[in-house]
Amino acid sequence: MPDKETTLLQGQRLRARGTAENAVGRFESHARISFHDGWDLPETDRLLRTEVRLETPRSALSYNRSPDLPFDRSINPYRGCEHGCVYCFARPSHAFLNLSAGLDFETKLIARPGISAVLADELRARSYRPAAIAIGTNTDPYQPCEQTHRVMREILQVLSDCNHPVAITTKGTLVERDIDLLAPMAAKGLVRVGISVTTLDADLSRRMEPRAAAPSRRLTTIRRLTDAGIPVRAMVAPVVPGLTDPEIEPILQAVAEAGAIAASFIALRLPREVSGLFQDWLARHVPDRAAKVMARVREMHGGRDYDPAFGKRMRGEGLWADLMAQRFAKATARLGLDARQPALRCDLFRPPERAGDQLTLF
């Protein structure tokens, strides 16, 4: 088996990317290695740009049985994410496309236009029973390419038309574009939105999640959604021990002032390739805190970089995990962000109509 390390091609440049690494996917049998060929010719200086490929979706809904998740079905409008968050636990999923969890994950994206028709067919099935659909649990549905491809918009249109409940997670401000659909759904008890706020430090955010909206802009999004009557849950995720955990209380104070009605947190997760990518990022951006961060992470995961066991992977365990949870609980209680949110309604659902279907009497 060849060494799976790879580097940028000669002359390639990066701008606003979460990682500088691009080791080939774990399922690939060949490595790509950049080297100088010995010719005294200037290398072409070229910026690494985002590519978006199109996929014809065969299915829309993905089901899970994880006891850690409050939903059993989800939709992924995109594969990969241009936000480039270095800590993203979804990065290893790109290996199933024979792509890297590194730069490929944030530069070689897959859009799934036409998914609304597939979704409508699945919702029409006689065996289908409605329950809240989660969107944004793997990669962000409101990443920059949504502006062009509008896959999330077409999904929302189907769900709105048939009164299907949906829970959205994002750090993209483009969600504001869809207030015209989300506000009427919220009035019926059909939608809630989770906005991720990792840090209030704009410089740290720019380095750690380079193409996501600045923290202040996300707070504005929370305010605009709540002003439209759309319930927003602030997600302090991930909490990076030794780096962003001192901000738990300030973040909760800021999101409460912005109008969030609830809050949750998830501790940093470093599955598979993410651990190496994140440790490289620490060494380049916060070398003075790298050892402390990884020591805390390992203390929370039984001495390992990550423990995938159900019940532990989201929060960790041990002293630091307990302290983090206690601080979060006390702050949310003080700010009124600990109230249990009502379940989204399923009783209004009506299967999507086909052209030519007989209309219902009521």
Indicate whether 158 belongs to any domain: yes
Asked if the bond preceding 238 is cis, omega within 30° of 0, the reply is yes
Tell me the pLDDT band of 92, cut-offs 50, 70 and 90.
very high
Query: For position 330, which CATH number holds?
Result: 3.80.30.30
Which of 149-158, 250-259, 302-311, 330-339 shows the lowest per-residue confidence on average (mean pLDDT)? Answer: 302-311
CA–CA separation, 198 and 171 (whole Å): 9
Nearest CA to 281 among 21, 96, 14? 21
Pair of tokens at residue 5: 């390390």
Tell me the pLDDT band of 239, cut-offs 50, 70 and 90.
very high
Give the pLDDT of residue 322: 94
Tell me the pLDDT band of 128, cut-offs 50, 70 and 90.
very high
pLDDT tens string 146-195: 999 999 999 999 999 999 999 999 999 999 999 999 999 999 999 999 99
Indicate whether 357 belongs to any domain: no
Buried/exposed code over 232-243 (b: 16+ C-beta within 10 A; e: otherwise) = bbbbbbbbbbbb
Indicate whether 6 belongs to any domain: no
Nearest CA to 193 among 214, 212, 218? 218
- Considering the chain, what is the average pLDDT of its residues? 89
Average pLDDT over residues 321-348: 94
The answer, yes or no, to whether residue 241 has pLDDT greater than 90, is yes
Which of 52-61, 93-102, 283-292 shows the lowest per-residue confidence on average (mean pLDDT)? Answer: 93-102
Give the pLDDT of residue 32: 64
The answer, yes or no, to whether residue 134 has pLDDT greater than 80, is yes
Indicate whether 148 belongs to any domain: yes
**pTM across the whole model:** 0.88
Which of 15-29, 72-86, 192-206 shows the lowest per-residue confidence on average (mean pLDDT)? Answer: 15-29
Indicate whether 44 belongs to any domain: no
Domain count, the chain: 1
Average pLDDT over residues 329-345: 94
Pair of tokens at residue 169: 């997670």
Indicate whether 201 belongs to any domain: yes
Tell me the pLDDT band of 1, cut-offs 50, 70 and 90.
very low
Dihedral angle of Cα 65, 70, 73, 76, to the nearest 10 degrees: -110
Indicate whether 32 belongs to any domain: no
Q: Do residues 233 and 286 lie in contact, with contact meaning Cβ atoms separated by under 8 Å?
A: no
Give the residue, 23 or 258, on which the prediction is more confident: 258
Average pLDDT over residues 59-78: 91
Indicate whether 354 belongs to any domain: no
What is the extent of the structural domain holding 64?
A: 19-27+50-335
pLDDT tens string 274-318: 999 999 999 999 999 999 999 999 999 999 998 888 878 788 889
Strands 51-54 and 108-111: parallel
Determine the angle formed by the axes of helices 319-335 and 290-300, rounding to 10 degrees: 90
Average pLDDT over residues 114-139: 95
Nearest CA to 199 among 254, 152, 147? 254
Tell me the pLDDT band of 6, cut-offs 50, 70 and 90.
very low
The answer, yes or no, to whether residue 8 has pLDDT greater than 50, is yes
Percent of the chain with pLDDT over 70: 89
